[in-house]
Structure 1
């Protein structure tokens, strides 16, 4: 087993090859169900061995001392170590299941349920031969702390999440938001030391980790952040928890459950509130729980009941209710949330009258996995700066993309441009408009960006005289070319 430090490129290849081993018997959309838990299991085992070795050397070879729980971040019970699985050749899936459940039980407070519900013992899908190949593949590297830093392993994990979104591309947007969009939200939110961050639709935890990266980039102590997330999907919520541990994050809570029907975080007087709220919730969710919203027990019905078949404005109200008295939030929504009438129009009106909305940023189309829709970012604040009160900033970023064949891309230069426009907060012809509440009232609280950011179409058409002169010139040139062609042709006849 190599004992030198592993590069990010090696790690990425190592992880994507694991997916190739599963290809065939396992559908691409299920790769994550198996590969993420195995990677985490391998990391836990290697770190445990490293901790054991350090304690063993410190105690001059005392095995009992080196096995004491206080020397280990996580306990690995007897028979549940990676090497126990590696030594198995029959009923490998059962042994994996036993090891994963054993580790969860030994570390109930932190790891309960973290490995998800994959059916490892289903031999129709996972033969012993396939699992042995997979275990051997994962065994080629030592993933201890000294050889693989948490950040690098975390980045490789993020790579794998994107890789699976690329492979499946079906409904992948539910579980993967492009990094550039996440980065834009982090820049706007601008979290700082000691703050609480909450993502009510956290997927695999990318938005929360972006806030951690934001502090690192600003040379602030990211360990003072307290991270909270809720996610309905079992696999995604498990991956989010593993993702946090693999990034070396200690202070976090990821709850599994339906946020709109059963929110997970409470304080003494109702819903828990946070400094920063960030999310890319499922677009236009249908069965979101409209029947209970009118008398919502958590007091989230602050602006009205959204339509039964569309939960966009339920997410917005939940997030606003989750901001503390100085809180701020960024949320990704489909463009329809800006202009749909009926119940949503009334909700928009109330939120604008309460002066909670600071900015609307339109993103280019086709940058999200699995949907051609153009999305927008809405920025809300409990207390807007005095100079921004009764105003909303509109940014048209529809052309801030690189056009690709199957998909478009929001690149670093585009993110920087959008953030610069947001931070500068002034009109830019064709792109940015600071609109007053009176202008918005005139438009009946419709927030459709083209109502505010008017594109000036330059008329570069020639005059009739110029067009006629060009036509005559072209006609003369064509006649000359025809004569020349006839002359050349005679030589061959």
Structure 2
């Protein structure tokens, strides 16, 4: 086993190679189901060994002392260590299952259910040979703290999440938001020390970790943040929890569950509220639980019942209800949420009348996985600054992209430009408009961005006279060319 310090590049290559070992029997969309738990299992085992050896040296070789739970971040029971699995040559999947369940059981408070529900013992998909190859591959490096610090491991983990998103494109939208979009939301949200952050559709935890990075970048103590997330998908919610631990984050709560039907976080008088709420919820969710919304027991029906076949405005209302008295939120939605009529139109009207909406930002097309549609970012605040009351900032950032072959990209320069427009909060021809509430009322509370930002198209067309002059010139040139062609042709006849 290599015990030298790993570089990020080595770590990324090491993780990518693990996916190649699975390729064939396992569909690319399922790679994450197997690779993330194995990586976390290896990390836990190697860190346990480090802690054990340190306690052993401090106690003059007292094995019983070095095994005490208080010296270990996570306990690893007998026969559930990585080396036990590595020594297994038959029924390897069963040995992995036993080890993962054993670790979950002795660390129930933190790790219950964290390894997901992968069918490790399914030999049709995962033969002993394949699993031995995978275990041997992961065994190349020691993933303890001395070799890999949490930041680097966390970054490599994020790389792997993106790598799998690239491999599975269409399905990736369920668990992965492009990090440039996440960074934009983090800049706008601007979390600070001691604040609580909540993502009701947290996927693999990228938005919560962006808030951590935001504090690190501003040289604030990120360990004072309180992170909360809920995610319906079992694999994604497990990965989110592993992601937090691998980044060295301790103070977080991530629960699996259907946020709109059964929200996970409560206080004595109802839903728990937070300083910052951030999300990229599933677009236009069909079966979202409309039947319970009219008499929602959690008091989230603050502006009306969204359509049965579209949950966009249910997410918005849930998030608004989850803001505390000084709370703020950023949410990614499809453009349709800005202008659809009927029930959604009434909800929009109520939210605008309550003066909760601060900004509408239209993003470029085809920057999200699995959809070519353009999306928008809505910014809400429980208490808008006095200078921003009774108005909404509209930003048309549809051309702030780098066009790619299969997908477009929001680059750092684009993110900075959009955030600059947001921060300045003033009109910019073709791009930004500060609209008054009366402007919005005139448009029947329709928030479609072109209603507020008219693009000035500069046509560089010539005048009629110039066009006729050019045509005459071209005609004469073509006559000369024809004459020359006929002359040459005669020589060959």
Q: Same fold (TM over 0.5)?
A: yes
Q: What is the deviation of 1:492?
A: 6.3
Q: What is the deviation of 1:460?
A: 1.6
1:283-322 equivalences under 5 Å are 283-322=283-322
List gaps (5 residues or longer) in structure 2: none
Alignment correspondent of 2:109: 109
- Indicate whether 1:130 and 2:123 are aligned: no
TM-score under structure 2 normalisation?
A: 0.99
| 1:358-416 deviation line (CA, Å, top 9, x unaligned) | 00000001100000111000000000000000000000011111111111111111111
Q: What is the deviation of 1:58?
A: 1.6
1:384-463 equivalences under 5 Å are 384-463=384-463
For the residues of structure 2 that align with 1:73 and 1:61, how far apart are their CA atoms?
A: 20
1:85-484 equivalences under 5 Å are 85-484=85-484
| 1:30-65 deviation line (CA, Å, top 9, x unaligned) | 110000000000000000011111111122222122
Q: Which runs of 4+ in 1 moved over 6 A?
A: 490-493
For the residues of structure 1 that align with 2:185 and 2:225, how far apart are their CA atoms?
A: 17
For the residues of structure 1 that align with 2:67 and 2:483, how far apart are their CA atoms?
A: 97
Helix, strand or coil for the counterpart of 2:153? helix
| 1:236-288 deviation line (CA, Å, top 9, x unaligned) | 00000000000000000001000000000000110000000000000000010
Which one is further off, 474-483 or 92-101?
474-483
CA RMSD of aligned residues (A): 1.0
Instruction: Check the 8 A contact 2:29/2:171 in 1, yes or no.
Output: no
Helix, strand or coil for the counterpart of 2:394? strand
| 1:139-162 deviation line (CA, Å, top 9, x unaligned) | 001100011010111111111111
How many residues get paired? 493
Q: What is the deviation of 1:486?
A: 5.0
Helix, strand or coil for the counterpart of 1:376? strand
Helix, strand or coil for the counterpart of 1:434? strand
| 1:414-450 deviation line (CA, Å, top 9, x unaligned) | 1111000000000000000000000000000000000
Instruction: Check the 8 A contact 2:56/2:66 in 1, yes or no.
Output: yes
For the residues of structure 2 that align with 1:124 and 1:474, how far apart are their CA atoms?
A: 72
Go from structure 1 to structure 2 and tell me whether the alpha carbon gap of 1:60 and 1:492 turns closer, same or farther (over 3 Å shift): farther
Alignment correspondent of 1:18: 18
Alignment correspondent of 1:51: 51
Instruction: Check the 8 A contact 2:77/2:103 in 1, yes or no.
Output: yes
For the residues of structure 2 that align with 1:224 and 1:492, how far apart are their CA atoms?
A: 89
For the residues of structure 2 that align with 1:116 and 1:394, how far apart are their CA atoms?
A: 42
For the residues of structure 1 that align with 2:32 and 2:244, how far apart are their CA atoms?
A: 16
Helix, strand or coil for the counterpart of 1:394? strand
For the residues of structure 2 that align with 1:109 and 1:385, how far apart are their CA atoms?
A: 41
Which one is further off, 26-35 or 62-71?
62-71
For the residues of structure 2 that align with 1:256 and 1:56, how far apart are their CA atoms?
A: 38
Q: What is the deviation of 1:480?
A: 3.3
Helix, strand or coil for the counterpart of 1:467? helix
For the residues of structure 1 that align with 2:483 and 2:59, how far apart are their CA atoms?
A: 100
